[in-house]
């Protein structure tokens, strides 16, 4: 509940919205990097779009996309309507992922807000 209040309060100012934009962009970047970092997960998602792709084609695409993203050659555009939503939901996802990596697992009870 407090997160909603703080997000709405911060959204009332131009610096606050700039912070929301930065958070949304960072969340999008982290999501893309996470999706590209696992060859198996990427292959599963890629085959959902191109079921006829070979393992070599998939890995070539994943490597190219990851390299372009890490080099800053892949622009990330976040729709304006998603900026505020990112503030509300993005941190929950990021926190869950960080907790999962830190502890090796993530229990919903461990991250339940008060």
Place of tokens 């390299």: 67
Query: What pLDDT is recorded for position 114?
Result: 41
Q: Which residues contact 96 (CB under 8 A, 6 or more apart)?
A: 106, 111
Which of these, 66, 87, 100, lies nearest to 12 by C-alpha position? Answer: 87
Instruction: Note the pTM of the prediction, 2 decimals.
Output: 0.57
Which of these, 28, 18, 23, lies nearest to 3 by C-alpha position? Answer: 23
Query: What pLDDT is recorded for position 91?
Result: 57
Q: Which residues of the chain have pLDDT under 70?
A: 1-8, 10, 81-84, 86-96, 98-99, 103-114
């Amino acid at each position: 509940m407090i997160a909603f209040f703080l997000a709405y309060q911060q959204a009332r100012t131009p610096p606050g919205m700039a912070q929301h934009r930065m958070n949304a962009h960072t969340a999008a970047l982290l999501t893309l990097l996470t999706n590209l970092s696992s060859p198996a997960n990427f292959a599963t998602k890629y085959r959902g779009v191109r079921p006829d792709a070979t393992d070599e084609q998939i890995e070539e695409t994943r490597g190219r996309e990851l390299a372009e993203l890490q080099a800053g050659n892949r622009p990330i555009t976040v729709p304006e309507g998603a900026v505020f939503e990112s503030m509300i939901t993005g941190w929950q996802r990021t926190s869950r992922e960080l907790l999962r990596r830190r502890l090796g697992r993530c229990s919903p009870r461990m991250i339940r807000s008060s």
